[in-house]
C-alpha cells in the first residue's frame, strides 16, 4: 500500500485489547504530537501472516483510505510490524456492542441515520456495496457518533457476483445475508445492503418502546416487511427510508441543521438560532448534551452573530440543579459532565476569536471548573490571549482570581507598579512611540492606586515650593564659554543638496603608452639560396668522356 509507513513516533498502544476477533484485535492508543494532552486513537492489530486470512485488515484499511465520509470511520495511518502483523490506526472509537446498552432511543435514531448516509454515499457516489452491514461493523466515537466500518468485504457493483458473495460467506454476518444471493446477485445490487440494514435496525431497536421516538413503530414495520423482504424488488431505496418520520422529527432536524450550517442562508440561521433554546428545552438535557454539544460549540456556531446574541448567553449560563425552570439550556451537573471536557481544549486553540468569545462569557461558567483546571489549563491560555488582544479580554481573568486564590499566572496578566518604565533612566530618545505603546502606558497609569497618585502629587508640590529662583545662580559655577576650547565644524548650507552619487562617479584617465624600439631583422625568404665555393665540387662531370659510357 502506498501510504504504509513505520509506526508513528510517540505512539503508545495499550496492552489490553478492547475487542478481539478472529481477524484482528482492537486496542486503545495515545499519540503524542507535542501538545500537553496526547491524541487518543484506536489501533487495529491484524492477525500474524501465518493465518489463513491475513489480508482482510489490509483490505479494510485500503477501503477506508479511498472512501472518505463524515459517517465512515476515519483513517489515520497504517504500518507493518515484524512478528505482529498489519496495524491500522483510526480515530478513537469503541464497538457498538459495548456502547449500545447505554444509548437512548434518540441516540440510536441519530446513529442509524449516520449509517444510512454512509450507505447512500457508497451506493450513489462510490458505486459500491458494503456486503456486511451489521452491529460488528459499527463503531461509536466518544461523542456518541456512529461510524460505519467493516469495509473488508466492500466491492464495486461491477465486480459483485454470486461467486464473490459465496466466497465471503464465512466472514459475513449470517443473519444479514440476503436470501438467494448464492444463486444470483439481487437486483439492484444495493439490495444486499438494504436487507442487512433492515436486520441491523430491527436488532438495535428491539429493547426500546415505540413511543420513545416519533415514527418508531412505522419504521419497525417497514424494516420487517419491506427491507427484509425475500424479493429484492420490494425493498425500498435507502433515500426513501431516510425521509420517513422516524428520521425527520424535531430533534433530527436540529441535528441536521447544525451539521449542515455552512450550507444555510443568513436568514435561515437567524430564524433557527432565535428559537433554538426553546426547542432544546423540550428534550432531555443529557441527550442534548451528549448528541449536540459538539455541534453547539463548533467554531461556526460561536462566530455566528445571531447565535452570539440569542444562544450563547443561555448556553454558557448553567442553572442550578434544583431550579425547575428551563430558561437556561443546561444544569450545572450536565454542564460539568458534558461541556467542561470539551471546553478545556478549546482554550488552547489558535483561533483568537474563539478564545475571546469564551472569555467574554467566562464569568458565567467559571465556577464549573476546578481550581486545578483553572490554573493548569484556563489561566495560562487566558493570559496569552490578554497579552495579544485588547483590554476587553483581561476582564475575565480578574473574575477567575477569587475562584483559585492567587494564581501563579496573575503577575503576568497585570503589570507591577514601578516608578518609571523600562529604559526611563536613559536619555530621552527621538524615536516616535506607536499608538499601541501609548495605550499600554495609559493602562499602566490607570492601574496605579488613587491614594498613591495623591501622595506623589503632594510630595512633588512640596519639593517645588522649596525651590527659590535666586538659589539657582549659585547651584553651579561654570566657566566662561569663550575660555573653553571648543571646535566647531561648519555646517553646509541648508539649501545645498546632498549628492548621494558622488562616490559613484567614474574616473576616466588616458592610457599610458609605452614605445618599444623596433629591431631590424634581415628578411629571409624560403626561396633564398646561399652559395658557397668549394674546390671539391665536380659539377655535372663535364670532364668525363661520354663516349666511354
CA gap 1, 82 in Å, rounded: 16
Residue 239: name the closest of 323, 334, 113 by CA: 113
Residue 472 has pLDDT above 60, yes or no: no
* Domain at 11-92: CATH code: 3.30.200.20
Distance from first CA to last CA of the chain, Å, rounded?
A: 107
Residue 315: name the closest of 306, 303, 327 by CA: 327
User: CA angle at residue 262 from 258 to 149, to 5 degrees?
Assistant: 65
The interaxial angle of helices 250-259 and 285-296, nearest 10 deg, is: 20
Report how far apart, in Å, the C-alpha atoms of 125 and of each of 87, 115, 159, 168, 426 are: 28, 15, 16, 24, 72
Q: Which residue has the cell 455541534?
A: 295
Tell which wins on pLDDT, 301 or 375. 301
CA gap 341, 320 in Å, rounded: 19
Residue 230: name the closest of 155, 161, 177 by CA: 177
pLDDT band for position 414 (cuts 50, 70, 90):
very low
> Rounded to the nearest 5°, which phi and psi values hold at 281?
-70, -15
pLDDT band for position 324 (cuts 50, 70, 90):
confident
> Rounded to the nearest 5°, which phi and psi values hold at 52?
-75, -25
What is the 8-class DSSP label of residue 12? Answer: E
Domain boundaries, the chain: 11-92, 95-248, 252-390
> Rounded to the nearest 5°, which phi and psi values hold at 515?
-90, 130
Q: What is the per-residue pLDDT for 490?
A: 52
CA gap 16, 57 in Å, rounded: 19
Residue 135: name the closest of 204, 83, 73, 70 by CA: 204
**134-138, 214-218, 254-258, 290-294: the lowest-pLDDT one:** 290-294
CA gap 256, 261 in Å, rounded: 8
Q: Which residue has the cell 549659585?
A: 474
CA gap 332, 345 in Å, rounded: 19
- Using omega within 30 degrees of 0 as the cis cutoff, is the peptide bond preceding 330 cis? no
- If residue 20 lies in a helix (H) or strand (E), which one and from where to where? strand 11-20
What is the 8-class DSSP label of residue 339? Answer: I
pLDDT band for position 96 (cuts 50, 70, 90):
very high
Residue 388 has pLDDT above 50, yes or no: yes
Highest-pLDDT range among 46-55, 218-227, 345-354, 357-366: 218-227
Q: Which residue has the cell 459538539?
A: 294
Residue 293 has pLDDT above 50, yes or no: yes
- If residue 94 lies in a helix (H) or strand (E), which one and from where to where? strand 94-95
CATH homologous superfamily, domain 95-248: Transferase(Phosphotransferase) domain 1 (1.10.510.10)
Strand order through the sheet with 138-140: 94-95, 138-140, 146-148
CA gap 307, 312 in Å, rounded: 6
pLDDT band for position 246 (cuts 50, 70, 90):
very high
Residues, the chain = 549
- What's the mean pLDDT when you consider all of the chain? 78
- For 125-185, the DSSP string reads IS-EE----SGGGEEE-TT--EEE--GGG-EEGGG--HHHHHHTTTTS-GGGSPTTTTTS-
Amino acid at each position: 500500500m502506498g501510504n504504509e509507513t513505520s509506526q508513528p513516533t510517540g505512539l503508545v498502544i495499550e496492552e489490553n485489547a478492547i475487542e478481539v476477533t478472529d481477524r484482528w484485535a482492537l486496542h486503545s492508543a495515545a499519540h503524542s504530537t507535542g501538545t500537553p494532552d496526547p491524541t487518543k486513537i484506536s489501533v487495529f492489530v491484524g492477525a500474524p501472516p501465518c493465518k489463513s486470512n491475513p489480508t482482510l485488515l489490509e483490505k479494510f484499511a485500503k477501503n477506508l483510505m479511498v472512501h472518505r465520509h463524515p459517517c465512515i470511520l476515519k483513517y489515520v495511518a497504517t504500518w507493518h510490524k515484524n512478528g505482529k502483523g498489519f496495524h491500522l490506526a483510526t480515530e478513537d472509537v469503541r464497538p457498538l456492542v459495548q456502547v449500545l446498552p447505554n444509548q437512548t432511543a434518540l441516540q440510536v435514531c441519530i446513529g442509524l441515520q449516520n449509517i444510512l448516509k454512509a450507505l447512500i454515499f457508497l451506493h450513489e457516489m462510490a458505486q459500491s456495496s458494503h456486503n456486511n452491514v451489521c452491529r460488528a461493523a459499527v463503531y461509536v466515537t466518544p461523542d456518541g457518533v456512529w461510524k460505519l466500518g467493516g469495509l473488508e468485504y466492500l466491492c464495486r457493483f461491477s465486480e459483485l457476483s454470486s461467486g464473490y458473495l459465496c466466497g465471503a460467506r464465512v466472514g459475513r454476518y449470517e443473519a444479514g445475508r440476503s436470501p438467494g444471493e448464492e444463486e444470483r446477485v439481487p437486483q439492484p445490487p444495493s439490495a444486499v445492503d438494504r436487507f442487512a440494514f433492515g436486520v441491523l435496525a430491527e436488532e438495535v431497536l428491539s429493547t426500546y418502546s415505540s413511543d420513545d421516538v416519533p415514527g418508531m413503530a412505522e419504521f419497525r414495520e417497514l424494516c420487517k416487511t419491506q427491507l427484509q423482504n425475500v424479493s429484492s424488488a420490494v425493498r425500498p431505496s435507502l433515500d426513501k427510508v431516510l425521509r420517513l418520520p422516524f428520521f425527520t422529527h424535531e430533534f433530527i432536524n436540529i441535528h441536521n441543521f447544525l451539521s449542515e450550517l455552512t450550507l444555510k442562508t443568513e436568514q435561515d440561521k437567524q430564524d433557527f438560532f432565535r428559537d433554538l433554546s426553546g426547542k432544546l428545552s423540550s428534550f432531555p438535557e443529557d441527550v442534548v448534551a451528549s448528541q449536540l454539544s459538539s455541534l453547539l460549540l463548533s467554531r461556526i456556531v460561536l462566530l455566528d452573530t445571531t447565535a452570539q446574541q440569542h444562544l450563547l448567553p443561555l448556553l454558557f449560563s448553567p442553572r442550578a440543579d434544583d431550579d425547575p425552570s428551563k430558561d437556561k439550556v443546561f444544569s450545572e451537573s450536565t454542564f460539568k459532565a458534558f461541556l467542561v471536557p470539551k471546553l478545556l481544549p478549546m482554550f488552547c486553540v489558535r483561533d483568537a476569536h474563539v478564545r475571546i468569545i469564551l472569555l467574554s462569557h467566562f464569568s458565567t461558567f467559571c465556577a464549573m471548573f476546578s481550581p486545578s483546571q483553572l490554573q493548569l489549563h484556563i489561566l495560562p491560555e487566558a493570559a496569552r490571549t490578554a497579552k495579544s488582544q485588547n483590554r476587553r479580554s483581561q476582564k475575565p481573568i480578574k473574575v477567575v482570581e477569587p475562584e483559585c486564590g492567587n494564581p501563579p499566572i496573575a503577575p503576568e496578566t497585570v503589570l507591577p507598579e514601578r516608578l518609571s518604565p523600562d529604559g526611563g533612566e536613559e536619555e530621552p530618545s527621538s524615536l516616535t512611540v506607536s499608538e499601541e505603546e501609548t495605550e499600554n502606558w495609559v493602562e499602566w497609569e490607570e492601574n496605579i492606586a488613587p491614594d498613591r497618585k495623591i501622595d506623589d502629587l503632594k510630595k512633588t508640590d512640596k519639593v517645588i515650593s522649596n525651590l527659590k529662583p535666586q538659589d539657582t545662580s549659585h547651584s553651579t559655577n561654570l566657566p566662561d564659554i569663550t575660555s573653553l576650547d571648543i571646535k566647531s565644524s561648519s555646517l553646509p548650507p541648508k539649501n545645498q543638496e546632498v549628492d548621494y552619487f558622488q562616490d559613484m562617479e567614474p574616473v576616466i584617465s588616458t592610457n599610458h603608452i609605452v614605445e618599444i624600439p623596433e629591431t631590424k631583422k634581415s628578411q629571409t625568404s624560403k626561396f633564398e639560396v646561399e652559395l658557397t665555393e668549394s674546390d671539391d665540387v665536380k659539377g655535372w662531370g663535364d670532364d668525363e668522356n661520354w663516349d666511354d659510357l
